Amino acid sequence: MNSKLKNLFILLIIAFLTNCTSSKVFKKLKKTDEHLANFYIIRPIETTLGIWSYTVEIYKYKSHFKHDKNPKLIKKIPLDNGEYAFLRLEEGYYKLFIKGKELTDKIVYLSKNSEQFIKLYIFSPSHISKAEFYLKEIEKKEAIELLIEGNHLNESPLSSKE
């Protein structure tokens, strides 16, 4: 009996260390939809605060962001280090925010039949300084480079289905 528990414990440790998950790795960009926007939020592989997950909240404005002061929360996506989220969203204005991090608001306009890429950027000038968080729009070329780095980034389980 003791031997069985020991073997089970070892098996659980091996599964944890090899990161047995059902996450999908990035292979290629999704085809665009003529009625929706393809929206990618990318958290590249970085050592700075890499062990923590950060949640990106996505809010949709009913109209122009200058007129609508209360956008509706439509999605919360926790992103681990080396993970990305893919969403198909309607045309319009959106506000992104990193939960628990001040001054990280980012407003974007998404058009039908388009692709847009946002990078969750964590900056720390030294090991003892406080990290700063940014949501930055990036070009397609940079996004693809980030998505294929290492063994390719993992897709968030909260991504839109194809």
pLDDT of residue 20: 47
CATH number for the domain running over 23-155: 2.60.40.1120
pLDDT tens digit sequence for 99-119: 988 888 999 999 999 999 999
Q: CA-CA distances (angstroms) from residue 123 to 25, 58, 84, 102?
A: 25, 22, 18, 14
Four-point Cα dihedral 108, 71, 123, 111, nearest 10:
-20
What does the domain layout of the chain look like in residue ranges?
Answer: 23-155
pLDDT of residue 157: 85
Say what the pTM is: 0.79
